[in-house]
Amino acid sequence: MRATAVRRTALTASAAVLALVVTACGGGDQAGAEAGGKEAKGGAGSTGAAAKALTAAELDKLALATADLKDHQVKKPGKADLFDPATLSVEQAQCEPVARALSALPTGEPAASAQRLVTQNSKAAGEGMPSMEELAEMTEEEAEAAMLDSLDITKTMTSLWSYDADGAERNLAALRAAGQKCAGGFSMTVGGEKQQVTKVTEEKLAVGEDAVAWTVGTKTDGGTPAETKVVVFRQGTTLAGFSSFNIAAAGRGEETGQPAAVIDAQEAKLR
């Protein structure tokens, strides 16, 4: 494989990564739309009128840790991992709750929040990117496949948002309604990057007391189409959000499943 082809393959893969990183959602602050919902029954932190939100310290203890998951790494996200909510804009206002969940930002105004970035590497990803010498011995197709294999990393931004009274229930209802209204897609900008949400496909997921789950298709200008798995479930006065993507799967045009192990581990800690 000629050196120019090696460089082109490497640059193509790098460009794909940069385009896809925009969907590696971050989050953390407040603002957004709320919608009405029904009264909840029971559960940890009942959502009646007198129900109290958990504190930031309580949420921090309930957030995931590496010890909670096998073959995953868990860390507190850094500034580079998060989106500034002030940079989010959505052309169709009714779709903002979906854009916020995609970007790991809360709907409404939670009283407290906590976030973790969970990473799962494949064996090939653990071995790292092929060297230029190794790539030079491959065909372009082999080099592209090898580089995608090295990027077989699933990243899931997990969020806990706690609300007073029935806030968690009302905001989950807002998410569900927005997903139904915006199933055909919408335009948004976050972190200075404009992207088109091409679809919001509802999935069925039994977790927590109530849950919303979607596959969200996105495409940036000149970028590779990608799919992000988005889940938000309620346990009492707390919403647990997950925004998950895999770079290699997007590059191959493959669909990935929900991060079931991550979701199950978080649900167990919230019960």
- Which residues are 194's β-sheet partners? 189
Residue in this structure with the two tokens 């932190």, named with its chain if needed? 45
| pLDDT score, position 55 | 98
| Domain residue spans of the chain | 3-270
230's tokens: 């988005």
| pLDDT score, position 35 | 34
| pLDDT score, position 130 | 80
| pLDDT score, position 201 | 97
Among 153, 127, 110, CA closest to 259: 153
* Terminal-residue alpha carbon distance, the chain: 55
184-233 pLDDT, tens per residue?
999 999 999 999 999 999 999 999 999 999 999 999 877 778 899 999 99
With a cut of 70, which residues of the chain have pLDDT below it? 1-49, 124-127, 146, 149-150
Half-sphere exposure of 14 (CA within 13 A, CB side): 7
Positive or negative: CA dihedral 251, 256, 260, 261? negative
pTM of the model: 0.79
| pLDDT score, position 19 | 43
> CATH number of 3-270: 3.40.50.720, 3.40.50.300, 3.40.50.150, 3.40.1000.70?
3.40.1000.70
Positive or negative: CA dihedral 199, 175, 154, 247? positive
Distances (CA, A) of 191 to 23, 25, 201, 224: 10, 10, 24, 18
Contact 221, 18 (CB under 8 A): no
